[in-house]
Amino acid sequence: MIHCFSGMGNSAAVANRLELKLPPNYPAEIWVFPVYSWGIPPVVVKHIEQLDLSGLVCHMVCTCGDDTGNIDRQWRSLIESRGGEAGSIFSVRMPNTYVCLPFMDVDSKEVAERKLREAAEKVDRIAEIIKSGEIVVDIKRGAFPGFKSGVIYPQFFRHGMKARKFHFTSACRACGKCISLCPNHNITAGQDGRPQWGDNCAFCLRCYHVCTAHAVAYGSQTKKKSQYLHPDFQWLIKKFENL
Ligand SMILES: Cc1cc2nc3c(=O)[nH]c(=O)nc-3n(C[C@H](O)[C@H](O)[C@H](O)COP(=O)(O)O)c2cc1C
């Protein structure tokens, strides 16, 4: 069973390829999701906290723009707290989607295409390892993993990301795309049909990246930033309805 959470389709693409490479109904529990601030997205944590995983080996495949920090430690303690056993843990580098800090933007077309090519090869290797039954930890921790996962991650959602910082600009055409595609159903239409953000934000940034008028903004940070969607976003997101 593959459980997937995905904002712009990167993790859904990995989930899809894994599904194709594993035999039908392969008996493995695999979670696929993006790395958020060197940790597991809160929406995935909440989902797993509601499960009884007794007797299950739980594999994790995360996608990241660059690196994961010590996400494996968080995975281990989360899975064990639900009675499960942490299995193999992998990261796959994919095009970056985080644009809410001054020095961060999406990747160039060339870098994004290269990452997608290399990711496909890595997912094929991951499928082989899972089939072999071997337990492997293969993640790109990056520099200062303890600081990133232990200090920045817990602060990021408490003080860093704030749903109230999302707003629309004068370019908004009230098309409703951000509203209908929000994975948490956290965006509603105001009287003029334009979006209003609630408090149940997954911080996936899908509302920002799907807006064809580039009218969704996060504070002033996204003013000169670009957008990214996985090339197969449309059907991948329908296939892997979030968690
Ligand atoms: C809120 C947020 C935080 C992120 N934090 C990290 C990070 O700590 N390290 C990293 O390499 N990529 C980070 N990224 C990039 C995503 O993990 C990466 O682009 C991922 O493949 C997106 O997958 P998706 O399309 O399935 O959502 C972050 C993205 C978002 C939206």
Domain locations in the chain?
Answer: 2-159+230-239, 161-218
Angle at 242 between CA 235 and CA 218, to 5 degrees: 90
Contact partners, residue 126, CB within 8 Å, separation at least 6: 18, 61, 88, 90, 92, 138
From the CB of residue 49, how many other CB atoms can be counted at a distance below 10 Å?
10
pLDDT in tens, 37-83: 999 999 999 999 999 999 999 999 999 999 999 999 999 999 999 99
Q: Which ligand 1 atom minimizes the distance to the CA of 92?
A: 21
Contact partners, residue 135, CB within 8 Å, separation at least 6: 87, 88
Ligand 1 in contact with 183 (CB < 6 A)?
A: no
Which of 61, 92, 96, 242 maximizes ligand 1 atoms within 8 Å of its Cβ, making it the mutation to test the pocket?
A: 96
For residue 136, with 0-12 CB atoms within 10 Å meaning exposed, 13-18 middle and 19 or more buried, which class applies? middle
Q: Which amino acid is at 222?
A: T
Which overall architecture, per CATH, does domain 2-159+230-239 show? 3-Layer(aba) Sandwich (3.40)
The alpha carbon of 69 and the centre of ligand 1 are apart by a number of angstroms equal to 12
pLDDT over 90 (residue 162): no
pTM of the entire predicted model: 0.97
CATH number for 161-218 (one of 3.30.70.20, 1.10.760.10, 3.30.930.10, 3.30.470.20): it is 3.30.70.20
